[in-house]
Amino acid sequence: MEGLYLFRFLRGHAVSLIGLAAFLLGSPARAEDWVRDRARAGDFVLAAEGRAAKIVTDAADYEVVRIAADDLRRDIATVSGATEGGAAQVWVGTLGRNAEIDALVKAGRIDATKLEGAWESFLIVTVDRPAPGVSRALVIVGSDRRGTAYGAYELSRGIGVSPWHWWADVTPLHRDALYVKKGMQRFGPPSVRYRGMFLNDEDWGLVPWAAGTHAPDETPLGPKTYAKLFELLLRLKANLLWPAMHKVTRPFNADPANAALADRYAIVMGSSHAEPMLRNNVGEWTASAADFDYLKNPDGVRRYWDARVSANATYDSVWTLGMRGIHDSGMAGPKTVGERRATLERIFADQRAMLEKAGIGSAPQVFTPYKEVLDVYRAGLKVPDDVTLMWPDDNFGYIRHFPDAAERARKGGSGVYYHLSYLGAPLSYLWLSTTPPALIRQEMGRAWDNGARTMWVANVGDLKPAELGTDYFLRMAWDVEGTRKRAIDDIVADFAAETIGPRVAGPTAAIMRDYHRLNFERRPEHLQWYLPGEKARQSPLTINEADKRLSAFAAMEAAVEQIEPLVALERRDAFFELVGYPVRASAAANRRFFAAEAHDRLRDVDLAEAMRRGHVAQEADAAIGVLTRRYNREIAGGKWRGMMAVEPADGQWRSYRLIPPILPPADAIPPADERIGTAQATASWTGVAPRDFVVGAGWRLVDGLGRQGDLLAASGTGGLAKARAILPAGQWRMAVDLLPTYADRDGDPLRLTVRVDGKSHDLAVPRETGNRDWASGVLDNRLSLTLPGELAGGAHDLAVSASDSGVMIEAVRFLPVEADDALH
């Protein structure tokens, strides 16, 4: 099985014999091109023969520089076992804050011309005899305080310390010696100015874990937890955090130590769309909810906001403007869209006056047209030109609005608020992280191309188990072009090499490709085909189709079993957290659901098989419990106790959450063969996959996304993609499957033209967030468009064109006329 997954990883990649040999031997990833185990001429000796270069900073530099330098010192010791000593040194400093480095720049020994005035950039450069008594120095110099910290952590990453070393238990592997390539390495500036995460819906993971395991001596979430989060952000070259804000969590600013700590780590603090002026309304608004009304109580609300401005004016912050309800609800007071528009414009003026009065009128400010506020914006809301417009997705990874020409010209620019986790309608997804990196690449790439370049924030839920998605999102925010030009499998293989080990990187990438493909078809939290409150109905899959799906999950599980013994012992916990648990838990969730459904379907026609399926469902349910207990109680010595909760974790928010599955009674089911989804399960489809098209101008193949493993994406220039379909005898209906993306803005239809044997069909797909079609689309990750008429068996020439860049074709399917209902 390892060989199968290795073959699937290499298939489709142009790999030379030398490159293939290097891959099979487990060569390191790109960052190690300038950090190595064996010395070459001119290399800087970072650590060798038990001695490590001394880490040197300037007392006049920023606190975050000292923090990062201390971590680098600790990381070098952890990896090499060496202690500081010898004549070589590592200088870590910020331009204008480190006298020794400034002297080297002034003397022309370091070319810092591209660093001066740059945003969050850094150099890593070797310098001979930089000062009396110092034979050689490796100089890490930043354009600003975060740039310097990023430089120190980049060297840590180069020697083998993953940004996820603490959060995913990626134990650094020992290296006897460490050498840095002679010369200069340049990094930055980042593609996106502000890049970060939003901790959200923390009730069932982050807070129970922090309160009961990580920091039981402080009210969650406190400085002990945030210190670990801030370090992670810096190691990922991120700079922004929206803190957790549910009622179960103590408001971030309620403990002044939190904000002071963020400042020490140079982390920019912001707040979500529902928390203007850095105020956590759920925990900090102590008056009646009815008084959070700007028409009825403007003075009280202004005093509430102004107190936070006064307290946090000296910190690096992004100030959220506007107003909504207490907790992610509509604004109280104004009734009509016109009244809401006028009230918001008054609020903008008052909030900005507070910032001006505090001397921070030029501080970054953001406004998010989220949910009902988007309607107010489109009704003519005037947002100050220097305020960043933060465009949201639809909570399921599809961005609702892309900046137009006028919005791109605004001084404040645009940003994106994106979801990797969500609590809300139609169904939440809070358990496993299944958003494909390829969807992040596609949607955030479209946002970038349309000018959303000022701020990117991902809602990461509890952070775990969203490590891969978070890593990819922030990697792309740092370097959009460098990230999106690479195949998803390549980047996932790099992530696996860094966090698990090079030996299994390729097979792990192949496993995760299937993991994202299968769970994209239906997330584990969405394994029901009706919404809460509706009459229950079964899935549209036949038993045979469900068995084929389960066979694919079983193959993934078998691959995990095959490669796990190849993982170094000190990386087994990381492997379980990043690969083993999500793959096995999602497989068990599907096995539980479809086996229970098969039991119900077969009960009256094949009792023995129904009972066998019932036993499989019970065993799958037990397996989820065993896996989750291991995650919470055994992995890393119980470090994550309380973190992992199977959805639904409790009875809260029932209208937005999966209904717990009803399983056959265990005592009525005899032991049976537990296998399900075997090689005999066959379910086929007749159609044309994206890779079968001849792609012309205006189209491109997108890897790593969709049920077929890739998609056909339009660029919006209207070119043709062509294919030929060969249909068996009979009468057929044709359907085009699309991803539920948006055109330039929510409300506009997706448009494409399909030509069949020379006859054109102009299709327009209504796209309106919140309606029934939208709900079905995001749960299925598919919109199916049926063409009028029927086709006879034989050869048919197809061509597609689209003027909307949002059009992404997953497949063209043909169904026998008698099976037409399967489209729905």
pLDDT in tens, 59-98: 999 999 999 999 999 999 999 999 998 789 999 999 999 9
User: What pLDDT is stored for residue 822 in this prediction?
Assistant: 46
CA distances from 810 to 364, 709, 711, 732, 738 (A): 40, 9, 5, 19, 5
In degrees, to the nearest 5, what angle opens at C-alpha 727 toward C-alphas 725 and 732? 105
Looking at the DSSP bridge assignments, the partners of residue 392 are 417
User: What pLDDT is stored for residue 86 in this prediction?
Assistant: 73
Summarize the confidence of residues 791-812 as an average pLDDT.
95
Q: What share of the chain is helix, strand, coil (3-state, %, to 5)?
A: 40, 20, 40
CA distances from 652 to 645, 647, 724 (A): 13, 11, 51
Residue with the larger pLDDT of the pair 532 and 262: 262
- pLDDT over 90 at 679, yes or no: no
Amino acid at 18: I
298 touches 349 (CB < 8 A): no
**pLDDT-derived band at 9, boundaries 50, 70, 90:** very low
**DSSP one-letter string for 137-177:** EEEEEESSHHHHHHHHHHHHHHTT--TTTTTS--PPPP-S-
**pLDDT-derived band at 676, boundaries 50, 70, 90:** low
Q: How many CB atoms are closer than 10 A to CB 213?
A: 15
Q: How far apart are CA 34 and CA 43, in angstroms?
A: 9
406 touches 454 (CB < 8 A): no
Residue with the larger pLDDT of the pair 390 and 677: 390
Q: How far apart are CA 421 and CA 416, in angstroms?
A: 15
Percent of the chain with pLDDT over 70: 93
**pLDDT-derived band at 13, boundaries 50, 70, 90:** very low
User: What pLDDT is stored for residue 25 in this prediction?
Assistant: 30
- CA 421, distance to chain mean position in Å, is 9
85 touches 46 (CB < 8 A): no
State the angle between helix axes of 437-449 and 488-499 in degrees (0 to 180), rounded to the nearest 10. 120
Summarize the confidence of residues 601-605 as an average pLDDT.
95
In terms of Cα–Cα distance, which of 742, 267, 486 is closest to 494? Answer: 486
Amino acid at 176: D
In terms of Cα–Cα distance, which of 585, 578, 579 is closest to 647? Answer: 585
The DSSP output letter for 745 is B
**pLDDT-derived band at 32, boundaries 50, 70, 90:** low
Q: Supply φ then ψ for residue 425, to 5 degrees.
A: -75, 150
**Residues with Cβ < 8 Å from 563, sequence gap 6 or more?**
1, 2, 5, 504, 507, 508, 511
**DSSP one-letter string for 297-309:** -HHHHHHHHHHHH
Residue with the larger pLDDT of the pair 412 and 32: 412
709 touches 795 (CB < 8 A): no
The DSSP output letter for 785 is E
In terms of Cα–Cα distance, which of 644, 650, 730 is closest to 686? Answer: 730
Element (H, E) at 392: strand 388-392
Tens of pLDDT, residues 621-661: 999 999 999 999 999 999 999 999 999 999 999 999 999 88
CA distances from 555 to 421, 544, 578, 602, 621 (A): 27, 17, 18, 25, 19
Q: Supply φ then ψ for residue 73, to 5 degrees.
A: -60, -45
Element (H, E) at 56: strand 51-56
**pLDDT-derived band at 5, boundaries 50, 70, 90:** low
- pLDDT over 80 at 823, yes or no: no
Summarize the confidence of residues 269-280 as an average pLDDT.
96
**Residues with Cβ < 8 Å from 286, sequence gap 6 or more?**
none
- pLDDT over 50 at 15, yes or no: no
β-pairing, 750-756 vs 83-94, is unpaired
**pLDDT-derived band at 450, boundaries 50, 70, 90:** very high
In terms of Cα–Cα distance, which of 437, 476, 424, 470 is closest to 453? Answer: 476
Q: How far apart are CA 68 and CA 77, in angstroms?
A: 14
538 touches 675 (CB < 8 A): no
**pLDDT-derived band at 7, boundaries 50, 70, 90:** very low
**pLDDT-derived band at 675, boundaries 50, 70, 90:** low
Element (H, E) at 74: helix 63-80
Cα-based torsion angle of the residue sequence 711, 703, 5, 490 in order, rounded to the nearest 10 degrees: -170
- CA 617, distance to chain mean position in Å, is 31
Q: How far apart are CA 767 and CA 783, in angstroms?
A: 10
The residue written with tokens 């919140």 in the block is 770
**Residues with Cβ < 8 Å from 267, sequence gap 6 or more?**
230, 233, 234, 239, 240, 241, 316
Summarize the confidence of residues 564-590 as an average pLDDT.
98
User: What pLDDT is stored for residue 533 in this prediction?
Assistant: 86
User: What pLDDT is stored for residue 33 in this prediction?
Assistant: 83
The residue written with tokens 């370097």 in the block is 479
User: What pLDDT is stored for residue 17 in this prediction?
Assistant: 30
Helical spans, DSSP H, in 479-565: 480-484, 488-499, 505-521, 543-563
Question: Residue 779: helix, strand or coil by DSSP?
Answer: helix
**pLDDT-derived band at 672, boundaries 50, 70, 90:** low
| Least confident window among 409-413, 482-486, 745-749 | 745-749
Percent of the chain with pLDDT over 90: 88
CA distances from 348 to 302, 306, 366, 376, 424 (A): 11, 13, 11, 14, 28
**pLDDT-derived band at 344, boundaries 50, 70, 90:** very high
**Residues with Cβ < 8 Å from 361, sequence gap 6 or more?**
352, 355
- pLDDT over 90 at 529, yes or no: yes
End-to-end CA distance of the chain: 36
Summarize the confidence of residues 48-65 as an average pLDDT.
97
Element (H, E) at 122: strand 122-131
Query: How is residue 226 written in tokens?
Result: 């945030």
Q: How far apart are CA 234 and CA 227, in angstroms?
A: 11
